[in-house]
Amino acid sequence: MEAILIAVLILLGVALVFGALLGFASIRFKVDGNPIVDQIDSLLPQTQCGQCGHPGCRPYAEAIANGEPINKCPPGGESTINALADLLDVEPLPLDAEHGEEQVKSVAFIREDECIGCTKCIQACPVDAILGAAKQMHTVIVSECTGCDLCVEPCPVDCIDMIPIETTLSTWSWAEPMPGVQLIATDRGRGADQQVNNDSDNHTDDSDQRGNAA
Amino acid sequence: MALIHVSSPHTNRSGKAGHVMRQVILATLPGLAALCYYFGWGPLINVLFASGLALLFEAAVLKLRNRPLGFYLGDLSAVLTAFLLALALPPYIPWWVTTIGIFVAIVIAKQLYGGLGQNPFNPAMIAYALLLIAFPVEMTRWSAPETLLEGPLPGFGDSLAIIFGQLALPDGVTLATPLETFKHKGGLTGEELWASSTLLNNLEPWQAISLAYLLGGVYLLVRKVYTWHIPVSMLGSLLLIAGLFYAADPSNYAPPLFHLTVGATMLGAFFIATDPVTAATSNKGKLIFGASIGILVYLIRNWGNYPDAIAFAVLLMNLTAPFLDYYTRPRTYGHKQAERGIARK
Amino acid sequence: MSRIWSFHGGIHPPENKQQSLLKPLRQAPIPPQLIIPLQQHIGAPATPLVEVGERVLKGQAIAEPSGHVSIYQHAPTSGIVSHIGNYSVPHPSGMEGLCIQIDTDGKDEWIEHQGVEDFRSLEKPALAEMIRCAGISGMGGAGFPTEIKLHLADDHIINTLIVNAVECEPYITADDMLMRERAAQIIGGIEIAAHLIKPTHCLIGIEDNKPEAAIALTQAARASEIEIEVVVVPTKYPSGGEKQLVKLLTGVEVPYGKIPADIGIVVQNVGTMSAVNQAVKQGKPLISRITTLTGDALDSPGNFEVLLGTPVEFLLQQAGLNPMSLNRLVMGGPMMGYTLSDTSVPVVKTSNCVIAATEEEFPQAPPAQNCIRCGQCEQVCPAELLPQQLHWFAKGKEFDKAQSFNLMDCIECGACAYVCPSNIPLVQYYRFAKGEIRREQAEQRKAEQARIRFEARQERQEREKEEKAAKRKARAEAASRSQANRKDQVAAGKPAAADPQEQIKKLKTEAAVARTKLKKAEKALAEDTANTELQAAVEVARSKSEQAQQALEAAEKASPAPAPTLAELKIAAATARTKVTKTEKALADAEAKGAASADKLRASLDGLRAKAEAAQQALEKAEQAEKTGSSSKPAAPAADLKQLKSAASIARTKLKKAQKALDQAREDRADTAELEQQLATAQQKADTTQQAFEAAEKAADQADGGQAAPAADAPDLKALKSAASIARTKLKKTQKVIDQAREDGKDTGALEQQLAKLQQKADDAQKAFEEAEKAEQSSSPAPQPAADKPDLKALKSAASIARTKLKKTQKVVDQAREDGKDTSALEQQLTKLQQKADDAQKAFEAAEQAEAGSNTSQPTDAGSDLKAPDLKQLKSAAAIARTKVKKTEKALADAQAQGSESADSLATALDKLKAKASQAEQALAEAEQNSETVG
């Protein structure tokens, strides 16, 4: 009986000590804010395009921290998904096509002689990268444009184009070397199939675009 | 005039991986010749048979993996694996043992990991270890060298017949290896054993073979196929540890030179441990890698269940190669110390 | 002899230097054209100082630095600047860059220049400026502006000047030749550099494979006033790398992320030193350099003194090129040089060598085999990296790991790739990985920037909201304060009767209070119908309210109705309407709930409606009265019009809301009949308001017309335009909803009806707008062409909006067609839109023509000034027309390819468009001609 009592007392004592320790630690080493959200946010491309269904990158970062899938960011694409998967230690998923597809990096361009000065695009731009005033021609500050294309839809005269960013002498870099042997002969089966698939995909894309444009 | 657009450098020391393999194969030839001189046609038949099989298996797997045959077979890595395994096998091993060994080496230990350059373990040694465990009888049935044989060596036809199961290996031909002899010396002291064993007093065949391997190894060193680090550190550490024990208790332990010249020590030091794919790559790492193999060889030979230990020692150290590489990263020019991990951010 | 250290790794490739040393230094002739790239160096490209057609003299500055790290460019010979544009430049990408092209005149006429023999007499800044103005950049490798390097002593303690004469790359002998021929010049340059940076040691590092050059330098150095030591180092590639040479000569390593100056060392190339000497002592800028032309495809390889900007193909001809055997053209050495895919590329300040190689000389690398981890790359890496690990990381795109293995320290010397037995293009892997890392870093920076801007914007919006709220609050407070004041005044016994307005207001408030009470009571009653007490209370409240109302009306009747009544009436009408809608809503709610109070509510609704109508009528009457009475005051109707307009817009908003509610309900598959009814009433109301608005506007227009005040008209037009555009937007949105519904397979009949209604309304608005415009045009005839311009703009934007709508509708139609849906209705709509767009376009063109006519009639009025924008507009109109034609053609082609039935209609549309385009084109041409004749 006494032994049991002693055991219980000891356990109780231990529990108290550890409880006190933990309590102390929770106050002493309190982490302000939610650093994981900041970390996620720093990995997102900050285009603020809203394609993920959240009003900006930070809200999506918060949503990811709360368990939302990491594959809803088309501007970030595969690299962002991989980085997020790395950070959160989860499996990288393929990009969710529902939120759009990964596209070439581009910037908005206003065909200035068609602009009627409605300021709608200025209001739509999440990073204030469009300059202009009512009844005045608008223009895009290229260095600030994130290419989110949120300004394209509101334009009443469709005078905003998304122009892919071109490589210049200063941004050019060598491409990844072709895997030597695969180039000449190998993967004859697999490689060729992929090629064909890619081609056919491209074709369908093209025809879609043409259909829309017509 | 179509000018090509490629990245520098525009010149290249003419050499291919196949070239490296070819040189290594070439360097094994003195050893093979010595083996044949002392043990007859068996080793040659084994090597040729194994090479053919290796090419066959490699081709089959490449076909399955949709790779171009000519390109990958041309690197000769399969042939080299076959050579190394066949040289390590007893001279008149049955053909099916070789077949299983080559299958394991090429298909399982190499191609299943992604082919040349991707395998973590030395394929030949994986196969050797597996055969040793699975077929201990066949794997320990070494024939005697010609110098210790009463009769003549079997001829080429007889050798073929023996290997392919048409003829039994004559009883008088089999003999324990020096290492086995020493391991199973029973209660005898070193001196007594040395005095009683004719085998141990006639070690020239093994010494000659070791010398032949050493010759090949030096050739490879001169041709800069690999650096001196692994062989020197391995032989050095083996010499050192054997010397220490021999000096402490000469009656119980074999002399250091005995360890260097018998068994597969030289083959291991110059042809197996130096396999670049599975060894450590940094110079410091190579030194540790080689020295550890030397010590492991001595430990297993003396206190392990098996008389020789090259395969196990090499495989054990293969396991540690990535670890060694990680902790022996050289300091980059302009940096204070080598950096580890990816914590720098 | 000072001590020599060594660096890790290195290789000994075949040198192949003797071929180009067989012949002495030759002077390359002046080519017919020189191409001077504006970027021949690290940093920002230079800015041109000359214009096309300008004659330049040899040595004249033709481009100036733009920024700190940038250099001057000079004309290498005299001639005429024939073009400034993009040409292929020496760059691994083979891309084009901005260049100045000079047609040489062969006179080789120098600009006036003067050197300073006694440079020590010059102030240091003046000396540095001389070097800067000579446009000298590092001639060995990257091309870093030399003058900046010579300034390093200003903020660093420099104790060693190292002159790089190593020239470790195979094939290249340009520096070797320079040292043999011009050792004294090099020493002179070193003296100048030493004077500027005051080092304690001057070392010249030279490989032992250039004994002649070493002897020449040593002799020249002996003659120098300062102590210059020539250090012969063993031949090993890449001893000439800056970091490797520093280690080799001083035993010190340049720390990661630092420059040699941080450890007290400045490294300069021998060629640069020679150029510095020339710039200071003779005043000649850097306009030529020694370039090695070598390779098996040349008959007479050798070193040439070449004018910068000389095309490589011209040079190769001088060295006897065999075009048939040329396979690979390399600028630079075989280890680090890059291939040229265009032989018209010019020689620049960093071009030390051009190798015209045959296929046997530089055979194509065999396909890469697997890495066998042989570690040979590691043995030769001069930066002590782990090339094979970096290769795995680059291949696996694990760039962060590659970075942690110090990929960025790679100097891309190519030693690893040279020894690789598996022929892996290691250097390209590293270049790829470095490019990706740089790109990622740039993206990271941009993302950070975007994040900051986004957050700033959000903050601003938040602040604006708060400010608005604060303002509203302040206004409300001010209002209540003034009311309190007034109350005080009333309490103070001021003669209330003196101000009937005041009294009416008070009465109104009382009536309102009574009504509110009544409402509350009614509500309570509705909740608890059984309560008789409540009913009684309601009765009481009602009677009280009616009394108050009566009192109010009596007072109102009694008091004369001066100007502000109109506004008040309007408010009253608006309140009545609001009340009506509220009650309607309540009714709908009640009906939906099936409450018993619905009947009562309905009754009250009817009452309210009647009241609202009365208010409206009163308002209209008052307005008419006002209009007739105030024709002499044109400003007033404008204000009324504004109010009316806002009423109309409120009505429209309500309509929109109702539609939304309806859509919502429909989506929820609720019973929508009531809502639809409600919608219809709202619609009607909106229509009436709109009509009222239009009537008022017409009246205003008439009133205005007599007064010839077109300025007042403009805002109305604008308002009308915006009304029209809003109508169109609504139309667009409804179409979208319909499309959505159609996609979802829902019944869209009702919606379509609505759409048609909206369409009509939009058309009406458009018509009204056009009429107004026409009226205005007729009312504002020729004498005021300036007033016309905004209209033209407006018309243009109207036209463009119409076109856009058209485009969008076409898209919708196409979509529908693809989905195999019935598109006839949509197509009809489309044709309508088309017509409208055409009308708009026509109106625009007519307006333009009219304007043009009015302009031509007054050629004295600076007509050409006015012309320019018109021309522009016409041009853009023509361009748009062309674009449309093109697009339609594409669509037609698609349609034909798909064998679709719509091809015919598209074809006719195309014809029409083409005709229109040609009209536009014609108009443009005419206008242009006109402007020419006028101008």
Report the CATH number at residue A56: 1.10.15.40
- Residue A185 half-sphere exposure, CB side, CA atoms within 13 Å? 13
Strands (E), C256-346: 265-269, 288-294, 302-307, 328-331, 338-339
Could you tell me the pLDDT band of residue C661, with boundaries at 50, 70 and 90? low
Q: Which of A46, A111, A119, A148 is the best substitution to test chain C (most C C-beta atoms within 10 A)?
A: A46
Q: What pLDDT is recorded for position A27?
A: 86
Are A74 and A94 in a shared domain?
A: yes
H-helix or E-strand spanning residue B103: helix B95-103
Number of domains making up chain C: 4
- Residue B247's pLDDT is what? 93
pLDDT tens per residue across span C419-433 = 988 888 999 999 999
Minimal Cβ distance to C404: which of B3, B75, B344: B344
Q: Mark whether A112 and A62 lie in a shared domain.
A: no
CA dihedral C515, C520, C522, C524 (to 10 degrees): -170
CB atoms within 10 A of CB A50: 16
Residue ending a domain, among C419, C442, C465, is C442
What does the pLDDT read at residue B298? 93
Domain identity same for A88 and A115:
no
Cα distances from C136 to residues C45, C60, C184, C347, in angstroms, run 14, 14, 19, 15
Asked if the C-beta of B69 comes within 8 angstroms of chain A's C-beta atoms, the answer is no
Distance, CA of C570 to CA of C244 (rounded, Å): 88
Indicate the helix (H) or strand (E) that contains A36.
helix A35-43
Q: Report chain C residues whose CB lies below 8 A from the CB of B7.
A: 92, 338, 425, 427-428, 431
CB–CB of C372 and B332 under 8 A? no
Assigned domain for C545 exists? no
Q: Which of A78, A99, A120 delimits the end of a domain?
A: A99
Candidates C713, C566, C585, C694; CA nearest to C629 is C566
- Would you state the pLDDT for residue B81? 95
For the record, the structure tokens of C295 come out as 């390779």
CA distance C603 to C42: 85
Report residue C257's pLDDT band, with 50, 70 and 90 as the boundaries: confident
Per-residue pLDDT, C686: 63
According to DSSP, residue B105 is labeled I
CA angle C556, C558, C562 (to 5 degrees): 65
- Choosing from C763, C780, C797, the residue where a domain stops is C780
Same structural domain, C346 and C395: no
C901 & C753 share domain: no
pLDDT tens digits for C909-924?
777 777 777 777 777 7
Are C33 and C162 members of one domain? yes
The residue type found at C924 is L
Q: Residues of A at the B interface (Cβ-Cβ below 8 Å)? A: 174, 177, 181, 184-190
Neighbours of chain C (3+ CB pairs under 8 A): A, B
Contacts of C286 (CB under 8 A, 6+ apart): C74, C134, C135, C136, C137, C275, C278, C279, C308, C349
Query: What mean pLDDT is predicted for residues C881-903?
Result: 67
User: How is C743-758 classified by DSSP, letter by letter?
Assistant: HTT---HHHHHHHHHH
Residue C528 has pLDDT above 70, yes or no: no
* H or E element that contains A131: strand A130-131
Rounded to an integer, the average pLDDT of A36-62 is: 86
- Domain of residue C426: give its range: 376-442
CA distance C769 to C720: 5
Predicted confidence (pLDDT) per residue in C433-490, tens digit? 999 999 889 888 888 888 899 889 989 999 999 999 999 999 999 999 888 888 877 7
| Same domain, yes or no: C149 and C39 | yes
Q: Phi and psi at residue C504, in whole multiples of 5°?
A: -60, -45
The answer to the question of residue C795 being in a domain is no
3-state secondary structure B245-303: HHHHCCCCCCCHHHHHHCCCHHHHHHHHCCCCCCCCCCHHHHHHHHHHHHHHHHHHHHH
Q: Establish if A176 belongs to a structural domain.
A: no
Distance, CA of C265 to CA of C259 (rounded, Å): 9
Asked whether this complex has an ipTM greater than 0.90, the answer is no
pLDDT of residue C665: 57
Distance of alpha carbon B333 from alpha carbon C198, whole angstroms: 28
Calculate how close chain C gets to A214, using CA atoms only, in Å. Answer: 4
Nearest CA-CA partner of B43 in B99, B94, B89, B77:
B89
Question: Which CATH number covers residue A144?
Answer: 3.30.70.20
Q: Do C372 and B1 touch (CB under 8 A)?
A: no
Residue C234's CB is within 10 A of a number of other CB atoms, namely 13
Determine, yes or no, domain membership for A41.
yes
From C92, C417, C423, residue closest to B16, measured CB to CB? C423
DSSP state of A97: G
**Residue C729 one-letter amino acid:** T
Do residues A128 and A155 both lie within one domain? yes
The answer to whether residue A114 is domain-embedded is yes
Residues B86, B50: contact at Cβ < 8 Å? yes
**Residues of C within the annotated binding site for [4Fe-4S] cluster?**
371, 374, 377, 381, 410, 413, 416, 420
What are the CA-CA distances from residue C346 to residues C35, C70, C316, C322, C833 (Å)? Answer: 6, 19, 12, 19, 57
Please tell me if residue A134 touches chain C, with a CB cutoff of 8 Å: no
Same-domain status, C51 and C189: yes
Instruction: Report the C-alpha gap between C845 and C796 in whole angstroms.
Output: 9
Chain A residues 56-115 with CB within 8 Å of chain C: 56-58, 79, 113-114
Residue C795: pLDDT over 80: no
pLDDT value, residue C246:
93
Residue C691 pLDDT > 60, yes or no?
yes
Residue C613: pLDDT band by 50, 70, 90 thresholds? Answer: confident
What pLDDT shows up at residue C62?
92
> Is residue A17 included in any domain, yes or no?
no
Nearest-10 crossing angle of helices B77-88, B95-103: 140
Residue A14 is assigned to a structural domain of this protein: no
Same domain, C64 and C174: yes
Residue the block writes with tokens 């002159």: C163
Domain around A43? 35-99
For A109, phi and psi rounded to 5 degrees? -135, 130
- Residues A108, A52: one domain? no
Closest CA to A108 of A155, A161, A70: A161
- C137 plus C184 within the same structural domain: yes
By the 10 Å C-beta count (0-12 exposed, 13-18 middle, 19+ buried), B13 is classed as middle
Domain boundary among C421, C442, C463: C442
In this predicted structure, what is the pLDDT of residue A211?
36
Say whether pLDDT at A116 is over 80.
Answer: yes
Are residues C178 and C68 part of one domain? yes
Ranked by mean pLDDT, which of A1-15, A21-35, C540-554, C713-727 comes out on top? A1-15
Residue A42 lies in a domain: yes
C715 and C834 within one domain: no
Tally of structural domains, chain A: 2
Identify the three-state secondary structure at position C707: helix
Confidence of residue C876 (pLDDT cuts 50, 70, 90): low
Segment C303-359, tens digit of pLDDT: 999 999 999 999 999 999 998 898 899 999 999 999 998 889 999 999 999 999 998
Q: Does B67 touch chain A (CB under 8 A)?
A: yes
More confident residue, C563 or C118: C118
Q: How far is C94 from chain A (nearest CA, A)?
A: 9
Domain end residue (candidates: A48, A67, A99)? A99
Residue C478 covered by a domain: no
Average pLDDT over residues A58-75: 87
CATH of the domain at C271: 3.40.50.11540
Look at C286 and B166; give whichever has higher pLDDT. Answer: C286
What are C40's two structure tokens?
């021949």
Of the candidates C367, C456, C818, which has its C-beta nearest A180's C-beta? C367
Q: Where are the domains of chain B?
A: 16-176, 178-326
Q: What is the DSSP string of C150-202?
A: HTGGGTS---EEEEEE---STT--HHHHHHHH-HHHHHHHHHHHHHHH--SEE
- The residue of chain B nearest to residue A173, with distances taken between CA atoms, is B7
- pLDDT in 10s for each residue of chain B, 345 residues: 467 788 888 888 765 556 788 899 999 999 999 999 988 899 999 999 999 999 999 999 999 988 888 888 888 899 999 999 999 999 889 999 999 999 999 999 999 998 888 899 999 999 999 999 999 888 888 888 877 777 777 888 888 888 888 887 776 667 777 887 777 776 677 777 777 777 777 788 889 999 999 999 999 999 888 899 999 999 999 999 999 999 998 888 888 988 898 888 999 999 999 999 999 988 899 999 999 999 999 999 888 888 888 999 999 999 999 999 888 888 888 888 766 554 443
Decide if C361 is inside a domain. no
Sequence-ordered list of residues with C-beta below 8 angstroms from that of B189, at least 6 positions apart, any chain: B251, B252
Token pair recorded at residue C200? 């304690």
Nearest Cα to C621, choosing from C559, C692, C547?
A: C692
pLDDT for the residue C151: 84
Report pLDDT for A190.
Answer: 39
Q: What is the mean pLDDT of residues A140-149?
A: 88
Q: What percent of chain C clears pLDDT 70, i.e. is strictly above it?
A: 63
Which amino acid appears at position B260 of this protein? Answer: L
Most confidently modeled of A197-201, C7-11, C149-153, C594-598? C7-11
Q: What was the pLDDT predicted at C826?
A: 62
CA-derived radius of gyration, chain B: 22
Which candidate, B257, B340, B324, places its Cα nearest to that of B287?
A: B324
Counted residue by residue, chain C has a size of: 935
The CB density around residue C646, as the number of other CB atoms within 10 Å, is: 15
Give the residue, C769 or B61, on which the prediction is more confident.
Answer: B61
Q: How sure is the predictor about C709, in pLDDT bands with cuts at 50, 70 and 90?
A: very low
- Is there a domain that residue C490 lies in? no
| Percentage, residues of chain A above pLDDT 70 | 82
* Mean pLDDT, residues C176-190 taken together: 92
Interchain pair C384, B227: CB under 8 A: no
Q: What is the DSSP letter of C346?
A: B
Task: Kindly report the nearest CA distance between residue A183 and chain C, in angstroms.
Answer: 8
β-bridge partners, A106: A164
Using CA atoms, how far residue C428 sits from A155, C318, C410, C421, C615, in Å, is 44, 33, 12, 16, 83
Instruction: Report residue C495 as tokens.
Output: 């003669």
Let me know whether A94 and A109 are in one domain: no
Length of chain A equals: 214
Judge whether C330 and C355 are in contact, CB under 8 Å. yes
What is the tens place of the pLDDT at every residue in A43-52?
888 888 888 8
pLDDT score, position C626: 56
Say what the pLDDT of residue A115 is: 86
Same domain, C297 and C427: no
**Distance, C-alpha C601 to centroid of its chain:** 57
Q: Is C526 part of any domain? A: no
Q: Please report whether residue C520 resides in a domain.
A: no
Q: Are residues C96 and C237 in the same domain?
A: yes
